Structure formats: structure tokens, C-alpha cells
Amino acid sequence: MHHSAQLPLLDYKGNEQKKMTLHLFLQIMGKIRLKSTPRKNHWWYVTEYVTTKGITTGPIPYNEGMDTFDITINVHRHQLEVSTSKGEAAGFSLLHGTSVADFYQQLSEILRRFNISVSILDKPYDVTIGKPFEQITQYHHYEETYTQNFWRILLWVDGVFKEFSGRFYGKTCPVHLYWHSMDLAVTRFSGKQAPAMPAEARISDKDAYSHECISFGFWGGDEKMPEPAFYSYTYPSPSGVDQEPLIPSTAQWVDSNGSPMALLTYNNLLKATDPRAALLGFLESAYIAGAKKADWDIEKMKVPELDNI
């Protein structure tokens, strides 16, 4: 169990308010990036990234592209930090009960001070909270240990996902964090267009799933899945994919809104002698299952060892 001891524990139950507070902080940051960054396919321009400091938006253009700024949750100092290409820097502590409303107000004030003009739709996305950010005072539960543990796991998963991503010649997104559901994800594409979604489908889904893909991710749990877990799904979902084998043996196929999804819980991964190898095995087996059933050219898209080139 030497390997698993290096990964921290992360419970969803008992930490719901801590997770939601962090989630809403990241949504505010992400919405600012969404509003300020030129469009890129499949919403890749709105995401956030895991770094040595914490979680960041990465560079965001302003001043007609002559300058950039970034917004980072520094998990070592437990503060929100804004910096610009002009050398400006400012921040505030996330401790001592900083609410979502406080976060939104203080971040907005820093941007105004730096003459960065951003107007966002100031309401949470895809969570059951109807209030605008400036009125959300019930979530004020940023907590050092939970946040650092969550970030440390994301940092490790980010590295594993990048290794897995490098094995595929086809179109692949960066490893990035989608703030709407707070999951770290990487997606592979076959290059073929997917069937058009119904007219009433959300525009976010229409763009995200315009082409055939197999997606892989990690998230910290929610009410439906009350523990952290890794997942993979194929879109469109091919018939019989859930009959394909998964590794390790603790992985399983589950129903996700009527379609099969491969699932490996974080707690089961911790039981593996070598969690990195186990996670890579899960990702590869889920990919092969989806690619095989969706008739992707698996060999053509496989990156060989350098000695075999």
C-alpha cells in the first residue's frame, strides 16, 4: 500500500459546503474567462487549469489584446490572486468565512481598479442555486485541508491524464477543469461529426458534442454519486459498450442519464498497489471499449514507442 499512502483521502459526505463554496468561486473565475476570451471549439476557451500554485484561469486578454490578466486560487496561501502583464498584482484571503458574495465583490473591485471591464451573467450555472453571486452568503466554507487535498489529487490526476493523452494521435483537448461541474477532463475525438442534437438542446451541449468523442474525467462527487470518482463515456454511446471489460476489477459500468458510463471510485483506486498504473489501465480499457464499439481506427490513432517509429 506504499503507493496509495501518497494520495490524500477525500470525502464528499461531510464536505458538501466546502466543495460548493470552492465550486462557486471557480464558477465566477470561469465566467470571467468565458466573457473575455475568444471562442475556441468545444468550449476549450472557458476552462481552468491546475498549477503548482493552485487553480487558475491562465492568461485572459484585455485592452484589445495588448495585455493579459489571470485569476488564481493560491492553495498554499489560501488567497485569491489577480495579476496582469503590466506587473500589477492584488488579492484577498479566502479564510475566515469569505462568502461567495464577498468573493464576487472583492474580485470585481480588483478588476475595476486594474481598469479591466468584464460583465458576466452573475448567476451559478448548472447547480441548484437561483440567487446571483452577490447574494450568495450561505456558502462561506472555504477550508484549507479540504482544498489542498482536492488540489493535490487534481495535480496528480492532471499528470496521469497528460500521460494518457500523449498516447493518441487524433484531436485531443488539453487537460483542463470545467468549472460548471468542477471536473478535470480530457477528451479524444475520432474526427467524425456526431448526429445533430435536438433543436431544444442546450447550446453548450451542441458545441461540446458536435463530433464523436470519448471523454475521461475526475470529479469530487455530488448528490447522485456521493464520493469522488473517475469516469469515461463515449458519445454517441455505441450499442454494447457496457459489455466490454474494464480494468481494474473494481471499475464498473453504470447508467448515466440513460447511457453507459465507466466508473472507478477514488476510494477503490486507493486500494491499488500502484494507483498510477491502475488509473492508466482504467482510462485505456474505457477508451478501447468505446473506440472498438464506435468503430474508430484504433491502430491508426495509437502513438507508438519512439523505437518503433
Confidence band (pLDDT; 50, 70, 90) for 2?
Answer: very low
Residues 19 and 75 in one domain: yes
More confident residue, 177 or 305: 177
Residues 122 and 165 in one domain: no
Longest pairwise C-alpha distance within the chain: 59
Does residue 4 carry a pLDDT above 70?
A: no
How many structural domains compose the chain? Answer: 2
pLDDT of residue 5: 54
Does residue 114 carry a pLDDT above 80?
A: yes
Residue 59, all three cell numbers: 492568461
pLDDT of residue 1: 40
- Rounded to an integer, the average pLDDT of 65-79 is 98
Report yes or no on 276 lying in a domain: yes
β-strand partners of 56: 49, 72
Residue 101, all three cell numbers: 458574495
Residues 151 and 129 in one domain: no
| Residues 241 and 214 sit within 8 Å (Cβ to Cβ) | no
β-strand partners of 218: 184, 230
- Rounded to an integer, the average pLDDT of 257-286 is 97
- Collect all residues with Cβ–Cβ distance below 8 Å to 109 and sequence separation of at least 6: none
SS (H, E, C) 224-291: CCCCCEEEEEEECCCCCHHHCCCCCCCCEEEEECCEEEEEEEHHHHHCCCCHHHHHHHHHHHHHHHHH
Does residue 87 carry a pLDDT above 50?
A: yes
Residues 117 and 39 in one domain: yes
Helix (H, G, I), strand (E, B) or coil at 211: strand
Where in the sequence is the domain holding 264, given as residue range(s)?
146-301
Residues 129 and 261 in one domain: no
Residues 79 and 159 in one domain: no
Of all residues in the chain, the percent with pLDDT exceeding 90 is 95
Residues 160 and 106 in one domain: no
